[in-house]
Structure 1
Amino acid sequence: TKILGGISPIDADFMALMKQYGALDHVDAVAVHGFPLDWNLWQIQEWPQKIAEISTVTDLPVWVSEVGVSSFGAEEVQLWGLRRTAELLLGNASRIQWYSLYDLPREWGATTRHREAEGSSYYRHFYMGLLREDGTPKPALEEFLRYTPEMGLVQWFHFEDPRLDDAVAWMKRLGVTNLRTGLSWADSFRPNALDWYDRQMEALADFDVTITFCFTPEHRGVMPHHTSPPLVPEEFAEFCATMTRRYAPAMAASPVRAVRASAA
């Protein structure tokens, strides 16, 4: 399954442009991201309207491949936001993936366009999890149990992430069946990168996994930044193709057991 990368803001004009360029002819679904209680300039009750706007442009299924509410202000806000999000989206989107399982450890820093000088716009990134940084549950965790398996998760794993095995155990305990995560092009230049990719994907083999190919290596970008277009687009394309051949179902003969994977 090929998914158009999730768009934020949710812009029907942008989706129409993608359709005009023929991009939608090459995907099986489109995706949107939304964080109305943290970053977006619209209110949470507008979710059905946002989905409907995209559906006027394309007949393809609409995935909400990243949605969440931070506990930056209060954990009770996250609990309410999860409940309201489920009310608004379950049954209205083909797939819903909640961001995220874990809070981001503060010492890791957030890979985002937001900067510390922006105040809460940056620090909210560290409070998106159903589990606190120390692994203890927030109130929203128990609520999340009510919405699985219809609602999946988004969880990014850093290179050789020590949380991987615990994350798998938590997701199975929660009844999660679908997960969105990433394989970093930048990480492919690290020593033992393929060993890490194999370990990560093998650990996630029991889930329906949506893979996002992400993060430009600084030395292979037009600019030295993780969001930069690649200097040579074919290099990124080859990374994506290599990962797809290794981990997608068509590669069942691979030495690593194939998992269900989608590019988004």
Structure 2
Amino acid sequence: MSQSTREAASAQGTLVASVQMEPRIGEKAENVAHSIRLIEEAAAAGAMLVVLPELANTGYVFESREEALELAEPVPEGETSCAWIDAARSLGIYVAAGIAEREGSRLYNSALLVGPDGYIGTYRKLHLWNEENRIFERGNLGLPVFETSIGKLAIAICYDGWFPEVYRLQSAKGADIICVPTNWVPMPGQPEQSAAMANILTVAAAHSNGVSIVCANRIGVERTQPFIGQSLIVGAQGWPLAGPASPDQEEILYARINVEQSRKSRRLNAFNEVLSDRRDDVYDLMLGTGWPVPLR
């Protein structure tokens, strides 16, 4: 890509990529190698931010806590973290990816954010889904928002998206783009032709909080558990920018996100702005966390 082409693309916004892939349970080295190939493919297409699925290095359906403990790694010094850090550094991009994290005897369903300068930070899933409650501890790092050269980035994982408080607090802390590594599964009672519940929730969250959301789901069936694919990228006005992806094929979705335009789009008309309209005389803007509201 020539310098002039790169500058023109930058003016249009940052190219982001959602990588929909199929990790294999327990095949960590193969999963990481495959993820690196997909990261490189996205970077070659011009992506500056690449999001991988939840537990992208290990697979999802652990038979026991002991199996998960054997596969989990410390972050960021573990081999998977180091591989993703090296890829981000060499390609000059940002990567958000789900990982099974071990901290001593404790296990977390986590995601790390890495960039051109190396490791940036970790998010630990707050809301555990189903059998995850037998495997992992609940996240204890809150909802960090990370300053980067492409905007303020935050992370949520899968079932976190069912809780409006997650996206609300991240947007209140200044997030521009929320990366969602996920392993969405079928929801009970879904009508045959209906959009995935996860997609509906994502669109609503993006619109009501004025944030862009990049969701990377996995595909396949693992130990009888099916996954639904349908990854998507939603802009800050709530309209899908790319996807939903296929329910059963690996693919990479791309979209451009202009952070400055996204921030302006929070103003819906001359009178209304989705963040400043909040009624702090009725409810606490930071939902009782005690976190300060950042200056904008």
Between Structure 1 and Structure 2, which shows a larger proportion of helix residues?
A: 1
Q: State the structure with bigger RCO (CA 8 A, min sep 6), 1 or 2.
A: 2
Between Structure 1 and Structure 2, which shows a larger proportion of strand residues?
A: 2
Give TM-score, length-normalised by structure 1.
0.48
